[in-house]
């Protein structure tokens, strides 16, 4: 590691290093976890936004800590919102595209903050819009009845405390021989909406807590699920409304530790493997704009989605050719396949219900990212309206990626190879037991890749001695990991060589034998236009090697073909729950792998704005019912991709990464292989040797 640049982007904020969640967790007998490392700004209320003080500032930059503090200050002053208001999230209200297109560096630009709030006294969610330039509240509206904002990070800690205070819960522990409540891990899960809610649950903001027991404070509690106990918690009153008890199952006998103090003998034989970049990285960063090779893009971040890419362009023949306006993984759902009464509601929407950006880790050098690394911080708000900054939440670095292209002319013996390198921009979120790493890669041949890495600890249940699981795999004695899927939705605002695009589906078909196929060998790729939203509800098909093509019908290459990018699916599978199962009302986006909509800035999240406890159908199924035209229009591609997790004993106690994702690859976008111009490996070293022949 030779250099580290940190973009703290904090201006005049003074920062004190204190754990954000540390307080509530310590009260619960748990010390702050490393991924919760964050800073709290005590000076935030005093600070003032300086939106244009940075010469690289841009209208799409995420809100800074100062701007978040200012938005809160303006709202509190102008609307006298009381102590009963909690802050769920504050996000940049992205200016209209027309304004972005007209914007030139140095010009003044709109800065508006979009807030989601919760009045816990009235049990009512609110939305607000604050103009930071005009220093005024543009609107503060209650959410329609029945809509619940996402769960706040501090609600998790408070929920755990409430469960541990409950006499009924302590009774359930006693029944199971658990005497030390401090060793109990309470895992609040979103309650969802199933139509089976009992009368006392209606209209409440709820979580359902599943519990685990540690044998000592640093033990892995997931080894010992406290099966059959579900504490239902009212988050407004912060009290347990009932404890559901489905019967005692003994704790599994084995521990399952992964922390280093439990692993005394490390494997030998790994000699240092160094990534050395003696001349620094090949990327440059100005504000939030990254340039690397021919690529240019802006790094955004929202508390809900985490990493967001804006304005992705490729520099080609003196032109900045756009590919993507905006890209993010905007929703996900993890349906579990166990129909048990205590388990059928396990279906976390980790983005829409929890805000996966708020769960981002502070990344560690030489661990998460190797080489010459540039970090970006992620400032956000906590429930009480304080600015917290997750330091080093986003990591930017280059990686060697083996062979990009090669050929040996065996007659002349000329051999040429170019090594591939990629630029990785990533963040990692810890969602309770699980880790999700979100990686976007840029390659020198014009390819963009999105990869999600799954790791962490599987959610477990207990088995009675001798019991074989029906809906999971026994991964350690008497320990079951249920079958489940991880389903992600990426929102891709396309702009392939300009804003107006169309989408084709390409299937490779075998031709039947006949006069035009006398030898039976004929097959060809056939492209079909997807002209409307309902035509574009599609799924992957391995038997026709299906892919989709986003073309710009207004731009032709020299061969007369419209320029395009392909969307190439990676691992994928359908949802295995029934299409009419309750979870699919909220996760209707998972019914298809591809959706295409005409661009509408209001249509942001695949399951709608407020999936938490939402009884209705929102998001993609609702919008695409209109069956709007998507031909030669500003388009949004929604790609849904799923990992079917059939657990293995090797996934325990901590799971080696499973990864999935997709690629966008140029198809007729360039004249030929755009990476022909890469220098041969070692060339720059040779040049240096010519300059300094005395050097070894
Ligand atoms: Cu899994």
Write the CATH number for 440: 2.70.98.20
State the burial class of residue 129 (Cβ atoms within 10 Å of its Cβ: 0-12, 13-18, 19+): middle
Task: Tell me how far apart the alpha carbons of residues 395 and 336 are, in angstroms, rounded to a whole number.
Answer: 31
E strand segments, 444-471? 448-456, 461-462
98 and 177 both lie in a single domain:
no
**Is 474 contained in some domain?**
no
Confidence of residue 54 (pLDDT cuts 50, 70, 90): low
254 and 296 both lie in a single domain:
no
Q: Which domain holds residue 100?
A: 43-142
| pLDDT for position 691 | 52
Confidence of residue 28 (pLDDT cuts 50, 70, 90): very low
334 and 376 both lie in a single domain:
yes
Distance 454 CA to ligand 1 centre (A): 7
The domain total for the chain is: 3
**Is 619 contained in some domain?**
no
490 and 370 both lie in a single domain:
yes
Q: pLDDT by residue (tens digit) across 95-116?
A: 999 999 999 999 999 999 999 9
Distance 137 CA to ligand 1 centre (A): 43
Confidence of residue 264 (pLDDT cuts 50, 70, 90): confident
Reply yes or no on whether 103 is catalytic. no
Distance 458 CA to ligand 1 centre (A): 6
Q: pLDDT by residue (tens digit) across 122-165?
A: 989 999 999 999 999 999 999 998 899 999 999 999 999 999 99
**Is 18 contained in some domain?**
no
Q: Is the pLDDT confidence value at 64 over 60?
A: yes
Mean pLDDT, the chain, integer: 90
Pick the last residue of a domain from 84, 107, 142.
142
**Is 376 contained in some domain?**
yes
Q: What share of the chain is helix, strand, coil (3-state, %, to 5)?
A: 15, 40, 45
50 and 81 both lie in a single domain:
yes
Distance 349 CA to ligand 1 centre (A): 13
Q: pLDDT by residue (tens digit) across 556-584?
A: 999 999 999 999 999 999 999 999 999 99
Confidence of residue 682 (pLDDT cuts 50, 70, 90): confident
Distance 484 CA to ligand 1 centre (A): 6
> Which has the closest alpha carbon to 185: 164, 168, 165?
164
188 and 133 both lie in a single domain:
no
| pLDDT for position 684 | 55
Confidence of residue 80 (pLDDT cuts 50, 70, 90): confident
Mean pLDDT of 543-562: 98
| pLDDT for position 55 | 79
CA 562, distance to chain mean position in Å, is 32
| pLDDT for position 206 | 94
**Is 5 contained in some domain?**
no
Q: pLDDT by residue (tens digit) across 480-505?
A: 999 999 999 999 999 999 999 999 99
237 and 295 both lie in a single domain:
no
Reply yes or no on whether 193 is catalytic. no
133 and 197 both lie in a single domain:
no
Active-site choice (39, 234, 350, 618): 350
357 and 323 both lie in a single domain:
yes
| pLDDT for position 11 | 33
Q: pLDDT by residue (tens digit) across 417-426?
A: 999 999 999 9
| pLDDT for position 615 | 87
Vertex 536, ends 534 and 538: CA angle to 5°? Answer: 110
State the burial class of residue 645 (Cβ atoms within 10 Å of its Cβ: 0-12, 13-18, 19+): buried
Active-site choice (314, 343, 354, 434): 434
Distance 241 CA to ligand 1 centre (A): 30
Q: Is the pLDDT confidence value at 37 over 60?
A: no
365 and 302 both lie in a single domain:
yes
Distance 445 CA to ligand 1 centre (A): 32
**Is 522 contained in some domain?**
yes
**Is 70 contained in some domain?**
yes
Q: What share of the chain in percent tops pLDDT 70?
A: 90
We report the CATH number of the domain holding residue 157 as 3.10.450.40
356 and 304 both lie in a single domain:
yes
Residue 589: count other Cβ atoms within 10 Å of its Cβ. Answer: 29
The whole model's pTM is what? 0.91
527 and 638 both lie in a single domain:
yes
Mean pLDDT of 263-290: 94
**Is 14 contained in some domain?**
no
**Tokens of residue 219, six digits:** 């033990």
Q: What share of the chain in percent tops pLDDT 90?
A: 85
Confidence of residue 52 (pLDDT cuts 50, 70, 90): very low
> Which has the closest alpha carbon to 529: 557, 510, 554, 548?
548
């Amino acid at each position: 590691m030779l250099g580290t640049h940190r973009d703290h982007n904090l201006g005049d904020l003074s920062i004190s290093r204190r754990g954000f969640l540390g307080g509530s967790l310590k009260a619960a007998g748990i010390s702050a976890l490393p991924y919760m490392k964050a800073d709290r700004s005590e000076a935030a209320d005093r600070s003032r936004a300086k939106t244009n003080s940075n010469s690289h500032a841009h209208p799409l930059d995420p809100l800074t800590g100062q701007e978040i503090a200012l938005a809160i200050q303006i709202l509190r002053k102008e609307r006298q919102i009381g102590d009963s208001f909690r802050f769920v999230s504050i996000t940049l209200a992205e200016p209209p595209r027309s304004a972005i297109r007209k914007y030139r560096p140095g010009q003044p630009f709109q800065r508006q903050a979009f807030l989601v709030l919760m009045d816990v006294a009235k049990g009512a969610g609110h939305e607000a819009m604050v103009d930071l330039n005009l220093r005024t509240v543009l609107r503060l509206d209650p959410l329609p009845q029945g809509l619940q904002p996402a769960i706040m990070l501090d609600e998790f800690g408070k929920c755990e405390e409430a469960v541990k205070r409950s006499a009924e819960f302590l009774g359930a522990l006693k029944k199971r021989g658990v005497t030390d409540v401090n060793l109990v891990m309470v895992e609040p899960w979103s309650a969802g909406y199933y139509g089976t809610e009992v009368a006392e649950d209606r209209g409440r903001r709820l979580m359902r807590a599943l519990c685990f027991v540690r044998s000592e404070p640093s033990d892995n509690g997931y080894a010992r699920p406290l099966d059959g106990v579900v504490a239902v918690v009212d988050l407004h009153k912060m009290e347990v409304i009932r404890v559901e008890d489905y019967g005692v199952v003994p704790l599994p006998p084995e521990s399952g530790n992964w922390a280093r103090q439990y692993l005394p003998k490390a494997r030998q034989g790994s000699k240092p493997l160094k990534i050395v970049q003696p001349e620094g990285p090949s990327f440059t960063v100005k504000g939030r704009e990254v340039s690397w090779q021919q690529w240019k893009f802006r790094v955004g971040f929202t508390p809900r989605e985490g990493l967001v890419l804006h304005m992705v362009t490729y520099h080609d023949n003196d032109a900045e050719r756009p590919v993507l306006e905006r890209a993010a993984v905007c929703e996900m759902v993890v349906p579990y396949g166990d129909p048990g009464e205590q388990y059928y509601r396990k279906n976390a929407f980790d983005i829409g219900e929890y805000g996966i950006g708020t769960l981002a880790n502070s990344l560690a050098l030489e661990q998460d990212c190797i080489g010459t690394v540039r970090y970006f911080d992620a400032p956000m708000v906590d429930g009480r309206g304080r600015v917290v900054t997750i330091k080093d939440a986003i990591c930017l670095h280059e990686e060697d990626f083996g062979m990009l292209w090669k050929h040996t002319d065996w007659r002349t013996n000329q051999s040429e190879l170019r090594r591939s390198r990629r630029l990785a921009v990533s963040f990692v979120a810890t969602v309770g037991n699980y880790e999700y790493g979100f990686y976007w890669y840029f390659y020198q041949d014009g390819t963009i890749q999105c990869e999600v890495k799954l790791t962490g600890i599987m959610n477990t249940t207990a088995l009675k001695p001798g019991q074989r699981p029906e809906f999971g795999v026994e991964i350690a004695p008497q320990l079951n990991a249920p079958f489940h899927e991880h389903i992600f939705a990426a929102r891709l605002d396309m702009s392939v060589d300009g804003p107006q695009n169309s989408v084709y589906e390409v299937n490779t078909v075998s031709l039947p034998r006949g006069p035009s196929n006398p030898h039976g060998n004929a097959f060809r790729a056939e492209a079909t236009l997807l002209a409307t939203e309902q035509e574009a509800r599609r799924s992957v098909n391995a038997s026709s090697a299906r892919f989709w093509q986003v073309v710009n019908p207004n731009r032709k290459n020299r061969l007369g073909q419209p320029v395009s990018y392909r969307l190439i699916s990676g691992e994928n599978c359908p949802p295995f729950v029934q299409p009419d199962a309750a979870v699919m009302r909220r996760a209707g986006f998972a019914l298809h792998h591809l959706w295409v909509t005409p661009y509408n800035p209001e249509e942001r999240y695949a399951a709608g704005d407020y999936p938490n406890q939402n009884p209705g159908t929102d998001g993609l199924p609702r919008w695409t019912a209109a069956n709007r035209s998507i031909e030669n229009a500003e388009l949004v591609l929604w790609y849904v991709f799923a990992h079917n997790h059939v657990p293995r004993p090797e996934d325990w106690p901590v799971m080696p990464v499973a990864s999935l994702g997709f690629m966008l690859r140029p198809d007729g976008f360039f004249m030929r292989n755009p990476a022909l111009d890469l220098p041969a490996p070692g060339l720059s070293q040779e040049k240096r040797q010519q300059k300094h022949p005395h050097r070894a």
